[in-house]
Protein backbone atom coordinates (compact mmCIF):
# COMPACT_ATOMS: atom_id res chain seq x y z
CA UNK A 1 0.00 0.00 0.00
CA UNK A 2 1.34 3.39 -0.99
CA UNK A 3 1.73 5.75 1.95
CA UNK A 4 2.96 9.32 2.13
CA UNK A 5 3.31 10.82 5.60
CA UNK A 6 4.20 14.48 6.00
CA UNK A 7 5.62 16.02 9.15
CA UNK A 8 7.29 19.19 10.38
CA UNK A 9 4.45 21.68 10.25
CA UNK A 10 4.38 24.15 13.15
CA UNK A 11 3.63 27.77 13.99
CA UNK A 12 6.51 30.01 12.92
CA UNK A 13 7.06 33.75 12.87
CA UNK A 14 7.30 35.75 9.64
CA UNK A 15 10.85 35.61 8.34
CA UNK A 16 11.46 32.27 9.97
CA UNK A 17 12.49 28.92 8.53
CA UNK A 18 11.05 25.43 8.58
CA UNK A 19 11.80 22.03 7.06
CA UNK A 20 8.99 19.71 6.06
CA UNK A 21 9.48 15.99 5.54
CA UNK A 22 7.50 13.36 3.67
CA UNK A 23 8.14 9.67 4.35
CA UNK A 24 7.18 7.40 1.47
CA UNK A 25 6.47 3.68 1.46
CA UNK A 26 4.75 1.04 -0.63
CA UNK A 27 6.33 1.94 -3.96
CA UNK A 28 9.75 2.30 -5.53
CA UNK A 29 10.45 5.84 -4.39
CA UNK A 30 13.37 6.54 -6.70
CA UNK A 31 11.30 5.72 -9.78
CA UNK A 32 9.09 8.78 -9.38
CA UNK A 33 9.13 12.56 -9.51
CA UNK A 34 7.67 13.95 -6.30
CA UNK A 35 5.80 17.17 -5.58
CA UNK A 36 4.70 19.54 -2.86
CA UNK A 37 1.23 21.07 -3.17
CA UNK A 38 -0.29 23.46 -0.64
CA UNK A 39 -3.75 24.64 0.32
CA UNK A 40 -4.35 27.80 2.32
CA UNK A 41 -7.24 27.58 4.79
CA UNK A 42 -10.53 27.60 2.90
CA UNK A 43 -8.77 28.07 -0.44
CA UNK A 44 -7.85 26.02 -3.49
CA UNK A 45 -4.83 23.94 -4.38
CA UNK A 46 -1.50 25.52 -5.31
CA UNK A 47 1.39 23.51 -6.70
CA UNK A 48 4.63 24.47 -4.97
CA UNK A 49 7.56 22.43 -6.28
CA UNK A 50 8.74 19.22 -7.92
CA UNK A 51 11.90 17.16 -7.85
CA UNK A 52 12.91 14.55 -10.39
CA UNK A 53 13.55 10.94 -9.43
CA UNK A 54 17.27 11.52 -8.98
CA UNK A 55 17.09 15.03 -7.57
CA UNK A 56 18.76 16.38 -10.69
CA UNK A 57 15.88 18.64 -11.70
CA UNK A 58 13.84 20.91 -9.49
CA UNK A 59 11.13 23.45 -10.28
CA UNK A 60 9.27 25.97 -8.18
CA UNK A 61 6.17 28.11 -8.32
CA UNK A 62 7.01 31.80 -8.72
CA UNK A 63 5.48 32.46 -5.30
CA UNK A 64 8.19 30.43 -3.52
CA UNK A 65 11.17 30.58 -5.89
CA UNK A 66 14.31 31.69 -4.11
CA UNK A 67 12.82 30.99 -0.66
CA UNK A 68 11.98 27.28 -0.74
CA UNK A 69 14.24 24.35 -1.62
CA UNK A 70 13.00 20.86 -2.44
CA UNK A 71 15.25 17.84 -1.93
CA UNK A 72 15.05 14.08 -1.54
CA UNK A 73 17.01 11.23 -0.01
CA UNK A 74 16.28 8.09 -1.98
CA UNK A 75 18.18 5.94 0.53
CA UNK A 76 15.64 7.01 3.15
CA UNK A 77 12.57 7.15 0.85
CA UNK A 78 12.09 10.73 1.96
CA UNK A 79 11.15 14.06 0.42
CA UNK A 80 11.88 17.43 1.98
CA UNK A 81 10.92 21.07 1.66
CA UNK A 82 13.18 23.69 3.22
CA UNK A 83 11.19 26.86 3.69
CA UNK A 84 13.02 30.12 4.39
CA UNK A 85 11.93 33.75 4.68
CA UNK A 86 8.42 32.62 5.49
CA UNK A 87 5.52 34.99 4.92
CA UNK A 88 2.01 35.02 6.31
CA UNK A 89 0.75 34.03 2.87
CA UNK A 90 2.69 30.75 3.15
CA UNK A 91 0.23 29.61 5.81
CA UNK A 92 -1.28 26.42 4.41
CA UNK A 93 -1.66 22.68 4.62
CA UNK A 94 1.30 21.23 2.73
CA UNK A 95 0.81 17.94 0.90
CA UNK A 96 3.41 15.76 -0.71
CA UNK A 97 2.21 13.94 -3.81
CA UNK A 98 3.53 11.31 -6.17
CA UNK A 99 3.43 11.18 -9.95
CA UNK A 100 0.94 8.68 -11.42
CA UNK A 101 3.51 7.57 -13.99
CA UNK A 102 7.03 8.78 -14.54
CA UNK A 103 7.09 12.56 -15.16
CA UNK A 104 3.33 12.66 -15.76
CA UNK A 105 2.60 15.43 -13.24
CA UNK A 106 -0.66 13.59 -12.46
CA UNK A 107 -0.89 13.12 -8.71
CA UNK A 108 -2.22 9.67 -7.84
CA UNK A 109 -1.27 9.53 -4.17
CA UNK A 110 -1.23 12.30 -1.61
CA UNK A 111 -0.27 12.46 2.04
CA UNK A 112 -2.61 13.73 4.73
CA UNK A 113 -0.82 17.08 4.85
CA UNK A 114 1.10 19.01 7.49
CA UNK A 115 -0.05 22.44 8.62
CA UNK A 116 2.29 25.41 8.47
CA UNK A 117 1.12 28.57 10.19
CA UNK A 118 3.13 31.76 9.74
CA UNK A 119 2.08 34.26 12.35
CA UNK A 120 3.57 36.67 14.83
Partner 1 sequence: DIQMTQSPSSLSASVGDRVTITCRASQSISSYLNWYQQKPGKAPKLLIYAASSLQSGVPSRFSGSGSGTDFTLTISSLQPEDFATYYCQQSYSTLVTFGQGTKLEIK
Residue 93: Cβ-neighbour burial (10 angstroms; 0-12, 13-18, 19+) = buried
- Chain centroid to CA 73: how far? 14
Q: Rank residues 14 and 105 by Cβ distance to partner 1 and give the closer one.
A: 105
Q: Rank residues 30 and 46 by Cβ distance to partner 1 and give the closer one.
A: 46
Q: How far is the CB of 113 from partner 1 (least distance, A)?
A: 6
Binding site for partner 1 (CB under 8 A): 35, 44-47, 50, 59, 61-62, 95, 100, 104-108, 110-113
Q: Rank residues 16 and 61 by Cβ distance to partner 1 and give the closer one.
A: 61
The DSSP secondary-structure symbol of 65 reads T
93: CB partners within 8 A, 6+ apart: 9, 38, 39, 41, 113, 114, 115, 116
Q: How far is the CB of 57 from partner 1 (least distance, A)?
A: 9
Q: How far is the CB of 22 from partner 1 (least distance, A)?
A: 12
Amino acid sequence: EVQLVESGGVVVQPGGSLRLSCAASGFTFDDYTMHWVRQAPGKGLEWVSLISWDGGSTYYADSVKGRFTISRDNSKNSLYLQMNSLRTEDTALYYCAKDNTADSREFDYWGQGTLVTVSS
